[in-house]
């Protein structure tokens, strides 16, 4: 498990370093550009497999030369992707960064993204697509399509993506019906973000490998009985800014040993839901909670039976510190931060 966490952290750091290199200037950070490069872009000699075409006011994707594995096209005015631009790198291109452009589905010609068989990361955020654009690559590890106009994500598009670990679809127009079984069958998916959409319930058919699920800012009003039992690896769950009420949370719905962080803030709860003793972070601010029931955290207290909760937020509710029963000190013995105001 420890090595698994280290590998994830290393991948995240690498992605951030490469992806957010918006301030690259030819001849400064990476040195002079190599000869095997499109004239509209820069391919530093020190990093010859990368082609930087970001922030160039481009309106279309330039032809990518042989040998390029990492292509940076963010922050342009790209409206279309013409057939043939990736013909030299169909089986070698690994990263494709297209964030912050003006691309629509209608302007993505056949023979472009649908020919990329080695792609590992596809960043397609801040565009105007209404349907997901998925390459045939079975090596795909990460998809980011935030801030688009996605209204559907048909099932089956990801069925052969056995290496996919992260999907970010926040800030779109997805409904619970439109995503259906879109994520079913993914064996290595660790993180899914569907925040800022139009979901009325949490996504179904999620793989048992999932560790992170963010569904903030939707219209979710209930959590299905046994929903979390099907996700034995889930550690971080955020459902803040939704429409959850007590009646929409079955008894014990959040009482699972895997959860470390649970965010239910900015909902309409009147009581504290039952959580497992292993939970470490619980966010309940800005609800309508009017009582502090210690049984929500500890069924009974003893030398080995107590809550591992470290942080608890209850500000913006109808309870105060005086609402806590005296025996709370034994149940919540590890809580270093309990916020009422």
CA dist 185 and 164 (Å) reads 11
pLDDT (tens digit, 9 = 90+) per residue, 115-174?
999 999 999 999 999 999 999 999 999 999 999 999 999 999 999 999 999 999 999 999
Residue 92: inside a domain = yes
pTM summary value: 0.90
Residue 4's pLDDT band, with cuts at 50, 70 and 90, is low
Beta bridge partners of 192: 167, 213
* Per-residue pLDDT, 31: 57
- Spatial separation of the C-alpha atoms in residues 199 and 87, rounded to whole Å: 38
Q: pLDDT value at position 34?
A: 73
Confidence at residue 5, expressed as pLDDT on a 0 to 100 scale? 53
Q: Is the pLDDT of residue 27 over 50?
A: no
Domain-embedded: residue 154 = no
Report pLDDT for 18. 36
In a domain, 68, yes or no: yes
Query: What is the overall mean pLDDT for the chain?
Result: 91
- Reply yes or no on whether the pLDDT at 106 is more than 50: yes
- In the 8-state DSSP scheme, what is residue 261? E
| Residue 205: inside a domain | no
Where is pLDDT greater, at 112 or 305?
112
Q: Which domain holds residue 53?
A: 39-144
Higher pLDDT, 27 or 231: 231
Tell me how far apart the alpha carbons of residues 207 and 163 are, in angstroms, rounded to a whole number: 13
Query: 225 vs 274, which has greater pLDDT?
Result: 274
pLDDT in tens, 222-256: 999 899 999 999 999 999 999 999 999 999 999 99
pLDDT for the residue numbered 13: 47
Average pLDDT over residues 162-187: 96
CA–CA distances in Å: residue 134 to residues 140, 145, 192: 9, 11, 16
Structure confidence by residue, pLDDT tens digits, 40-55: 999 999 899 999 999 9
CA 14/CA 110 separation, integer angstroms = 31
User: Which has the higher per-residue pLDDT, 91 or 185?
Assistant: 91
The count of domains in the chain is: 1
> What whole-number distance in Å separates Cα of residue 294 and Cα of residue 248?
21
Q: Say if 127 falls within a structural domain.
A: yes
Question: Residue holding tokens 């075409």?
Answer: 53
Do the domain assignments include residue 96?
yes
Q: What is the pLDDT of residue 32?
A: 64
Determine, yes or no, domain membership for 122: yes
Q: Judge whether residue 205 has pLDDT over 50.
A: yes
Q: Do 341 and 311 form a contact (C-beta atoms < 8 A)?
A: no
Is residue 124 in some structural domain? yes
Q: Is the pLDDT of residue 78 over 50?
A: yes
Looking at residue 98, its pLDDT comes to 98
Q: What is the CATH number of the domain that holds 102?
A: 3.80.10.10
**Cβ neighbours of residue 337 closer than 8 Å, sequence gap 6 or more:** 310, 311, 312
For residue 20, pLDDT over 80 is answered with no
Residue 301 pLDDT grade (very low, low, confident, very high; cuts 50, 70, 90) = confident
Q: What was the pLDDT predicted at 14? A: 39
pLDDT at 50: 96
């Amino acid at each position: 498990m420890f090595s698994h966490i280290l590998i994830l952290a290393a991948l995240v750091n690498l992605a951030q370093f490469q992806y957010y290199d918006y301030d690259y200037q030819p001849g400064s950070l990476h040195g002079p550009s190599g000869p095997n490069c499109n004239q509209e872009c820069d391919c530093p000699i020190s990093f010859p497999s990368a082609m930087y075409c970001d922030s160039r006011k481009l309106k279309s994707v330039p032809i990518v030369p042989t040998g390029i594995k990492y292509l940076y096209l963010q922050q342009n005015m790209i409206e279309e992707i013409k057939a043939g631009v990736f013909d030299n790198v169909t089986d070698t291109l690994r990263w494709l960064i297209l964030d912050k452009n003006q691309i629509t589905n209608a302007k993505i010609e056949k023979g472009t993204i649908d020919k990329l068989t080695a792609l590992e990361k596809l960043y397609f955020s801040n565009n105007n697509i209404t349907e997901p654009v998925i390459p045939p690559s079975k090596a795909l590890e990460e998809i980011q399509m935030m801030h688009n106009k996605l209204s559907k994500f048909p099932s089956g598009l990801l069925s052969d993506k056995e290496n996919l670990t992260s999907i970010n679809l926040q800030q779109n127009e997805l409904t619970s019906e439109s995503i259906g079984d879109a994520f079913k069958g993914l064996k290595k998916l660790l993180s899914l973000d569907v925040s800022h959409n139009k979901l009325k319930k949490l996504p179904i058919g999620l793989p048992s490998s999932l560790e992170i699920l963010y569904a903030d800012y939707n219209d979710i009003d209930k959590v299905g009985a046994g929903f979390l039992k099907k996700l034995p690896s889930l550690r971080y769950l955020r459902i803040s800014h939704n429409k959850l009420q007590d009646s929409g949370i079955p008894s014990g719905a959040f009482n699972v040993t895997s959860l470390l962080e649970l965010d239910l803030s900015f909902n309409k709860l009147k009581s504290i839901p039952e959580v497992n003793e292993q939970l470490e972070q619980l966010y309940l601010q800005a609800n309508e909670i009017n009582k502090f029931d210690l049984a929500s955290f500890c069924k009974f207290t003893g030398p080995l039976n107590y809550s591992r909760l470290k942080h608890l937020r209850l500000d913006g509710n109808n309870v105060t510190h005086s609402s806590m029963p005296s025996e709370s000190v034994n149940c919540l013995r590890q809580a270093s931060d309990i916020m009422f105001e």
